[in-house]
Structure 1
């Protein structure tokens, strides 16, 4: 009998329940995947806590990798035994799952399932942020919060390949070392540090061109103060809590800022963009831009994995192994 981890009610990790499950038969246009790795992300926590509600009971997890175990009718591009990865659709915290065939991306033999499972959502997020939300390039200066986390490391490595200057923020000296080792040009340490003053000092009072804020809470307002006139701020998360209302006057006309709230889940619903971006992610994995999984947990320990991620005890990416 296979296992799944089910969310029974909105709340803490105690609302996650391990249960038995039986593999389902794929409908037309679907695949059944047997997972070899499942990514753990903050969006899983947002789903659990009800910030982004799902119909209950629900199986969390929006990325994974494994082997095609069964193929539904009308699927011509995949066969039993194919190795695939995917991202952008809940239902991953289970030994097997059904998946729309168009979501699957064939995985080359030189990329492990665990690496892909912990990389695809972050890779797609980085691709969205660096090519669509604000196309960066030589001369761009970025501010990246949580520079030692899985997404922060990926963004930093990718941005450096594109000849950008990266200013990263981290919560500790140990995490500063990680951010620097992954290419950050400057690191701001400590949650209580005046990041506006530090960014001003590092940019000769100009401000950064682009800031990516996955922290939320009051940090977003501080982030707005770090960006030059006509610069862009991307708000992509709220680890520190709900984002207070931002009056339009804080964006302009004096500052003339653009505030974006991009969603990788929305990005992955665009099939053409998804296909193109997943190939870019595979290339980035091969080039070492996207780090391999930093922490492994058994599938039945999904609650502990979420707890560790939420408490900031981890660096890099997390993966569940069935």
Structure 2
């Protein structure tokens, strides 16, 4: 099979397109012919070594395709099933071995590309809006990078739950996408906290922040007393250490740094979230914006575009 391999952490040149032995599924695993792989910032962090992994490794934490072999003990999946997965390493390849416990059967008629484009970011948006801070009708919500892959999904789900949504973006084109997704107000990043307070009066109930260092201070300033900041990523770099007393001074604020793995810790929770998410996609209630499709061999270009913030929505690698 062909795969992207990282032998030494570094910039995008660390992504090598190489021939690898065909994998064989072990007990409790399935072998999947990959139809599409999602490209996510966690892949960049893995490549850079920010989240160290044993070397060498095949990156990619999300994908979809068709089961072509099953290991011992697999009873609920058979050859020919269409499945998707998230938070499983090794998706940047033509074939991938996936734990059966992490494979999600796709609804009939849902394309593998759509599944690969929505599962990791969609499950992230689901747990953020349903569990980290469960949005209630009438809540004011601030979504940073509202035209990005997670951002567009957060905007739509927050609107489905009855929130007023304020988004931040960097360009006019991204503002158009955020508004099309349902954002009630769209701001640029400069002085966004002041603008949020002008719109809401008291500040927002929750900030969903995947940007990190560049927006952290403003995000805290945009919260109302006892508001929640969900810092789920660091696209602009990690947040420096800070004094927790600032949370008290801001109005007994809450700050959390959640991770998807802790919100799909059981198969039941994974299937519950994925079922609702993919149901929305299949019905058309949730729109998935695929920005670019790259051949697997051009993974370097995909990473460069993602890191330079030249894209909106989702990036896919297609074998």
Query: Tell me, what secondary structure is at the counterpart of 2:146?
Result: coil
Distance 2:86 2:122 in 1: 10
The equivalent residue for 1:24 is 23
Instruction: Tell me which of 225, 229, 235 is aligned to 1:233.
Output: 229
Task: State the Cα distance separating 1:287 from its structure 2 match.
Answer: 3.5
d(CA) in 2 for partners of 1:106, 1:239 = 31
Shift of 1:54: 1.2
**1:75-114, aligned counterparts within 5 Å?**
75-114=74-113
Q: Is the CA contact (8 Å cut-off) linking 2:59 and 2:89 kept in structure 1?
A: yes
Given the alignment of the two structures, is residue 299 of structure 1 paired with residue 296 of structure 2, yes or no? Answer: yes
Displacement of 1:253 in angstroms is: 5.2
Counterparts of 1:238-249 in structure 2 under 5 Å? 238-249=234-245
Q: CA deviation at 1:35?
A: 0.3
Q: Deviations over 1:31-51 (max 9, x none)?
A: 001100100001111111122
Q: Pairwise mapping of residues 45-194 of structure 1 onto structure 2 (< 5 A)? A: 45-189=44-188, 191=189, 193-194=190-191
Q: 5+ residue gaps in structure 1? A: none
Cα distance in 2, alignment partners of residues 265 and 57 from structure 1: 23
> In structure 1, how many angstroms separate the alpha carbons of the residues matched to 2:137 and 2:260?
24
- C-alpha separation in 2, matches of 1:72 and 1:52: 29
Corresponding residue pairs, total? 318
- Deviations, residues 224-261 of structure 1 (Å, cap 9, x unaligned): 00000001000011111121112111111552000011
CA distance, structure 2, for counterparts of residue 268 and residue 97 of structure 1: 20
Give 4+ residue runs of structure 1 displaced > 6 Å after superposition. none
TM-score by length of 2: 0.97
Q: CA RMSD in A?
A: 1.1
**Counterpart-to-counterpart distance in 2, 1:150 and 1:124:** 12
- How much does 1:280 deviate? 1.3
Q: What CA distance in whole angstroms lies between the structure 2 residues aligned with 1:148 and 1:253? A: 31
CA distance, structure 2, for counterparts of residue 261 and residue 305 of structure 1: 26
Confirm whether residue 312 of structure 1 aligns to residue 312 of structure 2.
no
Q: Secondary structure at the match of 1:119?
A: helix
**Would you say the 8 A contact 2:221–2:250 is kept in 1?**
no
What's the counterpart of residue 214 of structure 1?
A: 210
Q: 2:256 aligns with which of 255, 260, 268?
A: 260
Gaps of 5+ in 2: none
TM-score, with length taken from structure 1 = 0.96
